[in-house]
Each structure stands twice: as C-alpha cells, then as structure tokens.
C-alpha cells in the first residue's frame, strides 16, 4: 500500500456533478428480483418498481441502483435474457417519466454481465456497478470502456452461491486492497478512465460478521487507491447478528449506525434500501465530519 492518496476526480452525470469528498452521496437500491435478501418480490413488477424509484428519488437519493440478479448468499444465477428483461424496462420507464426529477435521475445497473451492462446503458443507465469487480465476465471492463461510463468495482471471493465458505483471510484489508488495486489497473488497461472508477470493499460478500466490522473501521486504508469509496451495509445480516434481529426490514436503525460509521471513516457513497432515512443520516453525519470551518 505505497500509493499516494489523491482526491478522486469528480463524476459529471446528466445534470449533476459528484464532487467526491465534499459530501456523502446516497445510492438507493431497486431490486427487480423475486429473491433478494431484503426486498425480494416487492418491486418485481414494472408498476411497483417505478413507484419505488419515485419514492427513492423523492427521498433525496443521488443514484438509483437497479439490479435484476440477486446477490444474496446462496443465490442462484438467472439466465442472461431474464436479467435483461428485469432491468431494461424499468430503466426505460424511468427515462420516459413525466416527472422531471425521476426522468433525469442518475441510474446505475447492478450487474456482472457485459451484455446486460450494454443493454442497460443503451436504455439510459449511467454507471455500471459490478459486484465481481470485473472478474465474472472477461468482456466487462472493455465493454465499460467502450460505453464510456463509470464503473464501481467490488471485492468478492467466489460467487454469491459459494462466497460465505471463503472468509478465511490472512490479511483482510491487505487482500481486499490488492484485489481492488489489481482490478483498477485492469480496468485502466482495458481503456476505462481512471477518473471513472469507484471501489467497494464488499461488505457481506465473502466476509464474516466480525470482518464486516473491521472493514468499517479500516475504510481509510483504501484511500491510497485514489478512487471514490462505496460502502453498502444496508440491512446486512451482520447488523442482524449484532441486534439479534433476523428480519432485514427491521434493521433500519442498525443500518443508520453503520452508515454513520462509514461516513466517519470517509465513505464517499452509501448503497442503501431506506432512501429518505439514510439521506438524513448522511446530512447529519456530514455536518459533523465534513463541515468546513
């Protein structure tokens, strides 16, 4: 970890610019799946997904993250055509919306497949959020470079079906750092602009409950990579473990605490299910830790 920390380059997407470090940005989760760990089946019709997108935007989120493949532990892979069928119509519907704020919102597509990324960007997505860090599909990084959009690279071991059997690390943060450093280099080599790359240490992905807490304590260790840092603790089972609460939808307050800790550690972007609530958390935490004299 010898790189010199640099201020991440701003992202200009649609009518807004993301000035990393100025404040914490919030990404609202929109799962169009029947089997996601927290909200599976709630938004897997076009009308329900559009209503949730509207609610998240009205709640103040900066990005909508739309996914059609569950990545919960043990999740099975859906056919490529099915994933496209789940995400493209809702992206198109958002872009056609009569509500200006919704139609112009920044959209990321949560996918590990280059073909889905391309279809989603053509439909109106602005960012690719790849939980495999560009490792599941050899064409992903070159595709993102060709599309000219930013990519978020996350750390994972194995696949969602196998990842929780791969939590044995000799040096947790060192191994996460090395993986992300390598994938950032691979993305740049494929033609992705260095200023178009964000990183995510992958809370809940091939991590034990204590390891998730360690990541939250050690976020600054990732800063030398010079990329915006996304943290996604929302409703994760490590919070339920702490609170002895197995129902993900009853973990809003625990999520708020995790988000506040992430902001204290320098997270640039939070990925959350409860948009309005975590936007308020971010505003107050920013006033404490990011306020200028």
pLDDT tens digits for range 40-72: 456 668 998 999 999 999 999 999 999 998 877
Q: What is the CATH number of the domain that holds 133?
A: 3.20.20.20
Who has greater pLDDT, 36 or 135? 135
- 290: tokens are 């990011």
The percent of residues above 70 in pLDDT, for the chain, comes to: 94
pLDDT at 42: 66
Q: Give a yes or no: residue 7 inside a domain.
A: no
Q: Give a yes or no: residue 9 inside a domain.
A: no
Please state, in angstroms and rounded to a whole number, the distance separating the CA atoms of residues 236 and 250: 11
Q: Give a yes or no: residue 67 inside a domain.
A: yes
Active site residues: 236, 271
Q: How many domains does the chain divide into? A: 1
| 208 CB-near residues (< 8 Å, 6+ apart) | 167
Q: Which of the four pLDDT bands, split at 50, 70 and 90, describes residue 292?
A: low
pLDDT at 291: 75
Q: Give a yes or no: residue 223 inside a domain.
A: yes
Q: Give a yes or no: residue 257 inside a domain.
A: yes
Q: Give a yes or no: residue 13 inside a domain.
A: no
Please give the backbone phi and psi of residue 9, each rounded to the nearest 5 degrees, phi first. Answer: -70, 135
Q: Which of 118, 169, 176 is nearest to 142 (CA)?
A: 118
The percent of residues above 90 in pLDDT, for the chain, comes to: 84
- 26: tokens are 């919030």
Domain that holds residue 211: 20-289
Q: Give a yes or no: residue 6 inside a domain.
A: no
Angle between helices 209-217 and 172-189 (to 10 degrees): 70
Question: In what side-by-side order are the strands of the sheet with 151-154?
Answer: 197-200, 151-154, 127-130, 106-110, 63-67, 25-31, 269-272, 230-231
Span 150-161, average pLDDT: 93
Residues in the chain: 293
pLDDT at 3: 47
The pLDDT of residue 250 is above 60: yes
């Amino acid at each position: 970890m010898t790189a010199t920390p640099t201020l991440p380059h701003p992202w200009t997407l649609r009518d807004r610019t993301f000035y990393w470090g100025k404040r914490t940005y919030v990404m609202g989760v929109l799962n169009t799946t029947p089997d996601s760990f927290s909200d599976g089946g709630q938004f897997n019709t076009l009308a329900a997904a559009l209503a949730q997108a509207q609610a998240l935007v009205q709640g103040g989120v900066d990005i909508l993250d739309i996914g059609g493949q569950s990545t919960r532990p043990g999740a099975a892979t859906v056919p490529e055509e099915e994933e496209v069928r789940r995400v493209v119509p809702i992206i198109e519907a958002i872009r056609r919306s009569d509500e200006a704020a919704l139609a112009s919102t920044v959209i990321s597509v949560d996918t590990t497949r280059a073909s889905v990324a391309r279809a989603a960007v053509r439909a109106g997505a602005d960012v690719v959020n790849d939980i495999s860090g560009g490792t599941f599909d050899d064409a992903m990084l070159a595709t993102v470079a060709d599309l000219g959009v930013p990519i978020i690279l996350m750390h994972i071991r194995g696949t969602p079906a196998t990842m929780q059997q791969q939590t044995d690390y000799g040096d947790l943060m060192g191994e996460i750092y090395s993986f992300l450093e390598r994938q950032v280099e691979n993305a740049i080599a494929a033609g992705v602009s260095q200023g178009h790359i964000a990183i995510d240490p992958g809370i809940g992905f091939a991590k034990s409950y204590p390891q998730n807490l360690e990541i939250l304590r050690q976020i600054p260790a990732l800063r030398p990579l010079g990329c915006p840092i996304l943290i996604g603790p929302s409703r994760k089972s490590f919070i339920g473990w702490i609170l002895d609460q197995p129902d993900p939808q009853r973990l809003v307050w625990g999520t708020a605490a995790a988000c506040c800790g992430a902001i204290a550690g320098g997270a640039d972007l939070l990925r959350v299910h409860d948009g309005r609530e975590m936007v308020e958390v971010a505003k107050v935490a920013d006033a404490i830790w990011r306020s200028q004299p």
